[in-house]
Structure 1
Amino acid sequence: MDAFTSFFDSQSSSRNRWTYESLKNFRQISPVVQNHLKLVYLTLCCALVGAAAGAYLHLIWNIGGLLTTLATVGCTIWLLSTPPYEEKKRVSLLMAAATFQGATVGPLIDLAINMNPSILISAFGGTALAFGCFSAAAMLAKRREYLYLGGLLSSGVSILLWLRFASAIFGGSASLFEFELYFGLMIFVGYMVVDTQEMIERAHLGDLDYVKHALTLFTDFIAVFVRILIIMLKNADKNEKKKKRRD
């Protein structure tokens, strides 16, 4: 946990260092890598549009569930096993995976719309803001500065999986679920930074697979969005119950 604390402390202290030196670090990114980043983020935006379309399809036909989850996993595995030179096929698979992922998240989005549509807008805006800020932090920081966090984040994901496994066997509690929620949010926010820096380093080494990199960032974005949305829904529900008690 000390590493996580130092990471977030470094974010606040680095505000004073984001001057000419930060911009100079950004200029160290070659034109080829900058073009790659443009392709990655453009593809990511298209994937998010696909996810929104999938969520809309769920609202119309109620298709989100186990089948769309399996379809997302299937399309992702198919994409990763497809050679990079089959670019159109890989982009199509990414859009399909994003659409199925949106349909999978559809029931949660439906719940948010029924409770208060502004919660959905706030959750998406908060996720986009966090994604933008932490991606910028990764780009403006020194190269490889946050890559050391990758091992800690992987350990955090393992802890989440074991907690989920234990909850399924022995039964979970509200406090355990809340811990998983906030701890998972912190983990995937960290992955936003690490994956962005790793993507830049891979691009510097010649790995310009923008479809795969967009898939990685899309996964991080959805993971953070879902957790922020659940937290906001829980808080809204608590406030609603408090109002009923007062009345």
Structure 2
Amino acid sequence: MSAPGFSFFSTSPASSMRWDNLKMNLSPSIQHHVRNVYTNLAVMLAISSLGAYLNMSGIIRGGTWSLVGCMGTLIAFSLTPPNPSNENWRKYLLYGFALSKGLSLGPLLSFSLYVNPGTVFTALLGTCLIFACFSLSVLTAPSRNVLYTRGLLSTAAMLLAGLGLLNIFVGSKAIFNVELYLGLMVFAGYVVYDTQLMIAKAELGSRDYLRHSMELYVDLVAIFVRVLLILNKRAEEKDKRKRNEKRR
């Protein structure tokens, strides 16, 4: 993603998917690049799902080392120049990042499944809907001219980082709620921005589908985590109200 990395940091053109039906104002070569990006994004999500399963089943335990793995592979990927000779190595780094991220998400998913299993499925569905709607809004737009939102999004991302740092010492539920909902809006905005940036770069000749899929992956995972936390919070509040009513 073109935003900060911390929680923010061959297909044929004649594919079975009829992109023309979406009325995208994109050339065939750009459509081919978009397919490559989303195909690789799907692979990354599948690898992350495997990592989460390995953690939840106890085969491989995520933790500090998986977080270090996330940062290490992401930094190594960012520092490796995109050229044909490095493509396989960059793929390994990117997929290692996705696997480490899945392992890191394992404890959150395990807790959610234990407390309220329905929240995980609802969060997945909600995340897919948010991502699909915001992505399609860009891909099918007659023009893509909101790249100026980068300054606004960067400012909001810095505000989130500041709130997170402040809340380490304050421990305020109100600040935590602001972080959740503001973060959800910020990363939804980044989906729009990064999708537009992907197309703009591709039109200028940059066809680095690995980097573009990584940027969208970070956005998507950030949205999923926040949606899941919001649903867990609401489920916990609902259970608390029910317990209080029973005591009365």
TM-score (normalised: structure 1): 0.87
Q: State the match for 1:60 in structure 2.
A: 57
Gaps (5+ residues) in structure 1? 1-21
Q: State the match for 2:81 in structure 1.
A: 83
Tell me which moved more, 237-246 or 192-201. 237-246
Q: Residues of 2 paired with 1:147 and 1:30: CA distance?
A: 20
Q: Which residue type is aligned with residue 49 of structure 2?
A: A
Q: Residues of 2 paired with 1:110 and 1:74: CA distance?
A: 25
Report the 3-state secondary structure (helix = DSSP H, G, I; strand = E; otherwise coil) of the residue aligned with 1:103: helix
TM-score (normalised: structure 2): 0.86
Tell me which moved more, 189-198 or 84-93. 84-93
Q: Residues of 1 paired with 2:48 and 2:117: CA distance?
A: 18
Q: Residues of 2 paired with 1:48 and 1:230: CA distance?
A: 19
Q: State the match for 2:133 in structure 1.
A: 133
Report deviation, 1:213.
0.4
Q: Residues of 1 paired with 2:167 and 2:126: CA distance?
A: 29
Q: Residues of 1 paired with 2:105 and 2:143: CA distance?
A: 35
- The answer to which structure has the higher helix fraction is 1
Q: State the match for 2:69 in structure 1.
A: 71
Report the 3-state secondary structure (helix = DSSP H, G, I; strand = E; otherwise coil) of the residue aligned with 1:206: coil
Q: State the match for 2:107 in structure 1.
A: 107
Q: State the match for 2:152 in structure 1.
A: 152
Q: Percent identity?
A: 38
Report the 3-state secondary structure (helix = DSSP H, G, I; strand = E; otherwise coil) of the residue aligned with 2:147: coil
Q: Which residue type is aligned with residue 179 of structure 1?
A: V
Q: Which residue type is aligned with residue 228 of structure 2?
A: L
Q: Residues of 2 paired with 1:108 and 1:35: CA distance?
A: 36
Q: Residues of 2 paired with 1:64 and 1:237: CA distance?
A: 25
Report deviation, 1:143.
3.1
The answer as to 2:37 corresponding to 1:40 is yes
Tell me which moved more, 181-190 or 110-119. 110-119
Q: Which runs of 4+ in 1 moved over 6 A?
A: none
Q: State the match for 1:177 in structure 2.
A: 176
Q: Deviations over 1:173-227 (max 9, x none)?
A: 0011001110011000000001000100000000000000000000000000000
What is the alpha-carbon root mean square deviation over aligned residues? 1.5
Q: Residues of 2 paired with 1:115 and 1:47: CA distance?
A: 27
Tell me which moved more, 80-89 or 40-49. 80-89
Q: Residues of 2 paired with 1:126 and 1:49: CA distance?
A: 18
Q: Residues of 2 paired with 1:142 and 1:156: CA distance?
A: 27
Paired positions, count: 223
Q: State the match for 1:203 in structure 2.
A: 202
Report the 3-state secondary structure (helix = DSSP H, G, I; strand = E; otherwise coil) of the residue aligned with 1:133: helix
Counterparts of 1:157-168 in structure 2 under 5 Å? 157-168=157-168
**Is the 1:143–1:197 Cα contact (8 Å) retained in structure 2?**
no
The answer as to 2:232 corresponding to 1:229 is no
Q: Which residue type is aligned with residue 72 of structure 2?
A: G
Q: State the match for 2:19 in structure 1.
A: none
Q: Residues of 2 paired with 1:178 and 1:166: CA distance?
A: 13
Gaps (5+ residues) in structure 2? 1-21
Q: Which residue type is aligned with residue 76 of structure 1?
A: L
1:31 to 28, 48, 51: 28
Report the 3-state secondary structure (helix = DSSP H, G, I; strand = E; otherwise coil) of the residue aligned with 1:95: helix
Q: State the match for 1:216 in structure 2.
A: 215
